[in-house]
Copies of this chain bind each other. A is one copy, B any other.
Amino acid sequence: VTSGAETSADADVSFGIDIGGTKVLGIALGPLDEIVAEARVPTPTAPAHPDPVDAAGDTGVEVAYAIADVVAQLDAAVRGVGGSLGTGGSGSSSVGVGAPGMLDREGRLRFAPNLPQAHGVNWRVLIGERLPGRRIIVENDANLAVLAEHRLGAARGYQHVVMVTLGTGIGGGLIVDGRVQVGGHGFAGEIGHMVVDPAGPPCPCGRRGCWERFASGGGLGLMAREAALAGRLPEVVALAGGDPEGVRGEDVTAAAVAGDPDARRVIEQVGWWVGFGLANLACVLDPECFVLGGGLVGAGDLLLDSARRAFDELVEGGPTRPATAIVTAAFGERAGAVGAALAARDGGLG
């Protein structure tokens, strides 16, 4: 294999990387939209040698190193696929990166309630320094996820789509009239911070009663502990060593899947809040399709059916409006990374 063929293989493949709360996940996307390689490393949570003057920069640098590590793994894997050297040298594939929070059009993280230690970092600059000579695209993770689901996944054929990623918090991505839309400053789709109850629990964003306090993985944890403290969920509490405060969302999901009626009620309650927020979003945006992604979707039909029932009950106009599809992400946890690879190939969100 010649180095010419190697460059060609690189050029046909784009890389997409998603900075998640626990892992940095990368995929290599081939010319036929096939995933040809995958790599992941744990998300650095604190710098190895913190600089008290620039902690945000430090965290950003650590994450940028993790991304460069993932890119090196993908380079090696792609060379392997191409039958090439398998070692040494830097590749040329474009790299798309999805990051949580409010990213401005320069790639700077303006605000991220669930990643405060990185406020102010310029991802594009930091990552570009680690990957010289590459085209780097940085976008909000949910905006990339909706691109993937719209072009290749669960929302193909729809022109108006809202992606809702139900993780620790809630992310959102919008397709309006067939295109990803990021708003006037890049911050559209921060749907988890719609306040749905001004007297609700405090949110890391500084307000109270944001939708993500009720309808996310974090919301599930809150409601589960509330139920446990009220004496419900005895079996889940027993699993948590008897401490109601120690109950985690995952335990409730597992118990619900196993049939525990108390746990099922908590999941249904969270599902109701999911549907409640979707009904609010339908008032504003009137999508043809909602795509639900993120870890909470693992709770399955119990959650989805509850969300659909609440949506039908709550959406303005109810039965007088055409049905709105509520589906789960086809790419699961890879949606953001696949969208990042598509954006890298296109040179942006298009």
Contact = CB atoms under 8 A, between A and B. Distances in A.
A243 interface: no
Contacts of A288: 184-185
A316 B111 contact: yes
In this complex, which of A177, A185, A186 has the most chain B Cβ atoms within 10 angstroms of its Cβ?
A185
B194 A197 contact: no
A198 interface: yes
A324 B197 CA distance: 24
Contact of A317 (B182, B187, B282): B187
Nearest to A325: B184
Interface string A68-102: 00000000000000000000000000000000001
B276 A198 contact: yes
Interface in A112-149: 113, 119
Contacts of A177: 176, 179, 181
Contact of A188 (B111, B172, B191, B286): B286
Interface of A: 102, 110-111, 113, 119, 158-160, 172, 174, 176-177, 179, 181-199, 205-207, 276, 279-289, 314, 316-318, 320-322, 324
- Sorted from nearest, which 5 A-B pairs have the closest CB atoms? A183-B286, A184-B288, A111-B317, A160-B184, A188-B286
